[in-house]
Structures are given as structure tokens and as C-alpha cells.
Structure 1
């Protein structure tokens, strides 16, 4: 006697609605709990092109050599004394420009210290120059 196997066709379907609901709930949860942080950087005042520059005004020049020695108009100066030197210069001369020229081997922290001192004068524009001894 031959046995016959009866194959039944399974018409079972999986309902995807609950899984989609969970995915959307997780998506909403991650969107709500994500914190957006704005990164802060160093602001540099760029010179405006529409300003006319006087040929009679002198620039303030600050050099930093390879030994991290700071020179204000070719005279050695301590970093903490830069604001006083700038005030003295502005009392005698009219300028809006500061040229900062660090040496290639200068410590980056020293450049930032000098920029922080110059930043106390919001009306000055800082431009980076090339170091020449």
C-alpha cells in the first residue's frame, strides 16, 4: 500500500505593522534624544575690500621667532605687555592693521597667546605675514 503524503499549502502571512510601529517609535526616540552641539572656533577679522587704505598709516608688526620670542615693531616684548604697546602705538599713529609673522618652528600656543592679546582691540584687523629675520 502506497502512502500518499498530502501537502498542504501554507497561506500564512506575517503582519509587518507592529514591526513598523516599533521602528518608527525608535526613530522618533533617537531624533528627540540626539543633542546637537555647535563647535566653536577661532574668529579672525578679515579685511574688507571696500575700505580705502591710507598710504601714510603704518602697520603694527609682531614677529615671533623660532625661540618663541615676541617682537613688537622689531623690539623684544613680553606677551602680557602687547596691549600696552598697542595702546601706545595707537596714541601716536593711526592704523587698523596688525601683521603677525610667526616663524615656521614657533610653538602654536605662543601664536594663540599673541592673538588673544590683539583680540582685545576689536577695531584692529589681523593679517598673517611671513617671518623674515
Structure 2
């Protein structure tokens, strides 16, 4: 009796290990993607608006200014309401180093107090 030569076999265990590692990688990276608000932000070029409204500034240390005058949150809300009653636009400009969550909470605070029409300003660039 003759023995048969060993037949070549494909080992599936390493292949399955690699596939599980890939699945784990994709699951972990997919969980880091957070929900995002779709925004189409302007690039800062173009003509400036004809009528200047009121500017709300937020500095790096969290200080608030209304048209370059320091204000607290209550005075900011009152000044913003008066500006809207006069038909002026409101533009919020914030320091680049401020986390956007703080800017969003300021916008939420304004919106909760009846000031819903606030634009976001950015540093202008020359075309």
C-alpha cells in the first residue's frame, strides 16, 4: 500500500484572525466620528455689508464686548435685544482659541432669551 502525498491545505485560522482585527479597527474608528452639523462657511472674501450692525466679541479669557465695550451676559442680552428692535444686525466674533462649544453655548443663551438672529463673523481676507 502506498501512502498518498500530503495534500496542500489552506489554513483559515490566520485569515479569520486578520479579518477580526480589521473589523475591530473599523468599529473603533467609526465610533470616533461624531455627529456634525452641515455648515457651508464663507471664506471671508467679498464686499462688506453696507450697514454695520452691532458686534459681539468674545475674547480668549471669555470676556464679552458689545461694540468694543465690555459687558456682562445680562447687559449683552439687553443690548442685543435693543439692536434687533432697531433693525440692526448682530455679528458674533470669537477668538480663534476659544473652543467652539463655548461659542455655541453663548448662541444658545442668546436664543433662549429671544435673540435668535445672530451671525458669525470671521477675520476678513483680501481677495
Give me the TM-score of the superposition, normalised by structure 1: 0.50
CA contact (8 A) 1:79 1:114 kept: no
CA contact (8 A) 2:58 2:64 kept: yes
Question: How far off is 1:19 after superposition?
Answer: 1.7
* C-alpha distance in 2 between matches for 1:63 and 1:39: 28
Q: Where does structure 1 lack aligned partners over 5 or more consecutive residues? A: 1-8
CA RMSD of aligned residues (A): 4.6
Question: How far off is 1:75 after superposition?
Answer: 2.1
Number of the residue aligned with 2:98: 108
Q: Where does structure 2 lack aligned partners over 5 or more consecutive residues? A: none
Higher radius of gyration, 1 or 2: 1
Task: Label 1:89 to 1:45 Cα distance change in 2 as closer, same or farther (>3 A).
Answer: farther
Question: How far off is 1:65 after superposition?
Answer: 4.8
- Cα-to-partner distance string for 1:81-105 (whole Å, 9 max, x where unaligned): 433332221011232x504153x7x
Question: How far off is 1:66 after superposition?
Answer: 6.3
Task: Label 1:44 to 1:126 Cα distance change in 2 as closer, same or farther (>3 A).
Answer: farther
The count of aligned residue pairs is: 110
